[in-house]
Structure 1
């Protein structure tokens, strides 16, 4: 079963701070992409609203949230992981 990871962004975080941490975050995203653990990931359309990622399973989503610099360096305000039945792709 796939899993969806939802991040909230702390309201006082500036775009400058996000971009400072982004290269480290992008390296983790690339590792997960290359290993096939993440199917899609990115921010919502309006800055500051948060982001989401779709992972191959709950364990991968949990692993990502434990090592993501956005979490470790205080960009993220809240994390929600929900298991998801993808009815289109199985």
Structure 2
């Protein structure tokens, strides 16, 4: 019998934006960066990875953020200036299963 893999769940926050929203990134980035740092200081260890995709395409995610829990991902998105200022057209949280091999 083969052992089943052990999984660690992570929450992946995907941001979807269009060219107009991405054009505003330089304007809003300082607020987003400050928000990210504040989130990390108040909830240490919950935001694991964050960043944009190098070649964004309309209709596909433009950025990805990895969190320890869905709740942390949703809270982050709801307060992120990229979202509140309208740069992100929509966002979604997906559960990512990491193998523990």
Q: Give the alignment's TM-score, normalised by structure 2.
A: 0.76
Unmatched segments (≥5 aa) in structure 2: 1-8
Structure 1 consecutive aligned stretches of length 4 or more whose deviation exceeds 4 Å: none
Of the two, which has the highest radius of gyration?
Answer: 2
Q: Which of 13, 21, 26 is the equivalent residue of 1:19? A: 26
Compare 42-51 and 54-63 and name the one that shifted more: 42-51
Which residue number corresponds to residue 4 of structure 1? 12
1:29 aligns with 2:36: yes
Q: 1:30 to 1:36 in 2, by over 3 A?
A: same
How many aligned positions are there?
88
Q: Can you give the 5+ residue segments of structure 1 that lack an aligned partner in the other structure?
A: none
Q: TM-score, normalised by structure 1?
A: 0.84
Farther-moved stretch of structure 1 (19-28 vs 32-41): 32-41
